[in-house]
Amino acid sequence: MRLSSRGELKAFWKTIQSFLVVIIFIKEPMRQLYLASTGYSRPDTRLFDSISLGDDVVSFPIPDIRTALTPEYLSETKNEDPFQVMPALLATPTSLGAEAAREALQFGKREPQSLGLILGATCTPLQTTPTESQRVGKELGVKIPAYDIQAGGADFALHLETLLSWKESSLPENTLILSSHIPTSRIDFREESIEQAVFSDGAGAAVVSTVKSDLRVKTAVAKTFPSLGKHWTIDLYGHLEVNLGIEREVFVPRLLELINEHGSLISEDALFIESQLTPQSFSQLQEAVGIGKWHSSFNDLGNMFGASPFAALRYFQTKEEMDAEQIVILLSGAGLSIGIIILEREG
């Protein structure tokens, strides 16, 4: 099309503007999301029934670390070659994920058949395909869309952020989100290390619904910093290597930035939940924020990578310590990621 005069050009531009106005007004509104329920699972085997650490290795009380590995395997091999771990597993990311999902469904009074979508994640896959979400779907007996979306420590936030960005017509009534990891299968036990007192195996899950329930997802944001990868690596079939100094140097400052960015959304009496920082780093964050209502699940559950925030929420709900009108969940860890989730009670 060729416009031969200034008048024709002006008329054409007005037409374009009218189309833009129409597009703006017909855009579908974002549907409200609610956290219907959560669940978590851990292996039965306690790691420190099989190993011990010297007082010079750990400066904080050791959490109840769970492992999917058999005591015999740990004793005989010290997990020298994680590629050989398969026959020694008492639980897998899939079995733990399915167990956590069933608990979330039970607490949410929903059947697996009510699900329309599964979003999953694992940093410790036993195989690369099919995805962990597809494997869990099979365990639940449902054949629905299932995708893995990874953010490591901030899986929970990334999954919610993803769903919040979708159009109303794209969201099913019920979505299962889950994060399942067995980090002890990637730890070298030939020498004592602080990682052995920090990382625990487990899975967390949540049912997210478009049907109104007690907790509304006000916002969720996840951020990753891949350029810092040298501080935290997990070989696909090799050992985990972590410099825990990254908590104080990166995670705490970046979490403070994230809290400040969302300060206008956070109420003065909000309850903060954190589940992945070691006690010293948690205290540093707590003091910097200067807010009194905090819960940390690390001393009880250890760091289960992206599963920890799910587990912390369920853990404190069962202890009836979740009476706040607003809950702020802070996430950090594997994948060089941080995140924030703000939940608000509906009146």
Does residue 205 sit in the same domain as residue 219?
Answer: no
The more confidently predicted of residues 3 and 269 is: 269
Residue 315: φ, ψ to 5°: -60, -45
For residues 28-45, give the mean pLDDT.
Answer: 87
Q: Which residues of 115-148 are buried (b: 16+ CB within 10 A; e: fewer)?
A: bebbbbbbbbbbeeeebbbbbbbebbebebebeb
Give tens-digit pLDDT for 43-65. Answer: 999 999 888 887 778 888 899 99
Q: 132, 148, 141: which is closest to 182 by C-alpha? A: 132
Least confident of 69-83, 162-176, 280-294: 280-294
- My answer on whether 188 and 297 are in the same domain is no
Q: Is the pLDDT confidence value at 7 over 60?
A: no
Q: At residue 25, does pLDDT exceed 80?
A: no
Give me the percent of the chain exceeding a pLDDT of 70: 89
**In this predicted structure, what is the pLDDT of residue 229?**
65
179 and 238 part of one domain: no
Residue 321 domain-assigned (yes or no): yes
Longest dimension (CA), the chain: 86
Given 149, 181, 209, the domain boundary residue is 209
Write out the E strands in 96-235: 117-120, 146-148, 174-181, 202-209, 215-224, 232-234
Residues 177 and 224 in one domain: no
Domain boundary among 209, 230, 252: 209
Q: What is the CATH number of the domain that holds 311?
A: 3.40.47.10
Whether residue 161 is found in the same domain as residue 262 = no
| pLDDT at residue 2 tops 90 | no
Question: Both 171 and 295 in a single domain?
Answer: no
Bridge partners of 224, per DSSP, are: 337
Q: Are 261 and 255 in contact (CB under 8 A)?
A: no
Does residue 127 share a domain with residue 223?
Answer: no
pTM recorded for the entire structure: 0.89
Would 228 be classed as within a structural domain?
Answer: yes
Mean pLDDT score across all residues of the chain: 89
Q: Is residue 166 part of a domain?
A: yes
Q: Is the domain of 124 the same as that of 273? A: no
Q: What is the pLDDT of residues 145-204, one digit of tens each?
A: 999 999 989 999 999 999 999 988 889 999 999 999 999 999 999 999 999 999 999 999
Range scoring the smallest mean pLDDT among 14-18, 88-92, 212-216: 14-18
Residues 165 and 308 in one domain: no
Domain closes at, from 166, 186, 209: 209
Asked if residue 226 and residue 193 are part of one domain, the reply reads no
Tell whether 65 is covered by a domain.
Answer: yes
Provide the number of structural domains found in the chain.
Answer: 2
Burial of 299 (0-12, 13-18, 19+ CB in 10 A): middle
